[in-house]
Structure 1
């Protein structure tokens, strides 16, 4: 039986996505074994990032600067705007290095069961960005779930009055799949095969 402090650490790690109780215990054991080198580096990194994390006021990305590195990058194509549900989706798409435009994070997806309404998401902010001009294409990169597709259709309807091309990621993404868990090859194919919505 481990001490209360170690149990508390394992419980805290187990709350992270992708880690269950067993994986958390393995991580704690690894940290204990490497406590001279790994633990101080991990603590320093957590302390450093805790005080510097901010949400980008333009796109909703999480970074250590505002505007984020993507919005501040002049090499990005401001004419293309990729709309994603969550920051994890943005990171997954950007990690593939296939989309050279800018992003917009909604902060979730419409869900009647969970009580998530359009006003709970950054949809008005998206419309404001499009209304400012300079955007030729809006890529709706919603997860291939019922709620994700409902959100995509709702946004497409709201964008109908603007002179922008509305596309979405190609089907072929697994139904019920989430972007953050897909490999770069699948993401590349989905981006290359995007098509107009509606």
Structure 2
């Protein structure tokens, strides 16, 4: 089946099968968060992005092969409600942006900074530090050698705009700047975007809207 990225709470995962990596996307309640399970085809090692909620749903998705690591994209509580349960069940190594680690109640084993590498088996993801939604939000970029890049943006980039900056003009300007310079300026239009909530998009679909976002201020 063709991957669409359309998932709903209580529904099945949608699976994006790449040459070296399998990406499973699932939605969990009550805030319709997306969690992503990445599996290296060569080694079978798995990594979870955002143990948002519903630990039973996430552990069922993870399955008997467990996970080696879990990345929390930022410190907002809706993105780590299941983290303690998932780590307790799997013993996974925890990663988060260095500036957000203190706001996550489960200890962060590996604080991540801009450009830092996060590996799942033989696959490497690179962190991009994006300030504004929180001080330490990170996006994870997988530059697929067999195709276009893929980026997991947490709550920093969605279809139609950047993440919530709570009507703070300085925070909005910083987030838009970081998204423009560290994602749009470095990655091609074909880059697939996996956000923390809702449907997927591509950088090409969003790029023409950047001037509108800047003008409206959110």
More helix by share: 1
Larger radius of gyration between Structure 1 and Structure 2: 1
- Superposition TM-score tier, normalisation by shorter sequence: 0.3 to 0.5
TM-score normalised by structure 1 residue count: 0.33
TM-score normalised by structure 2 residue count: 0.30
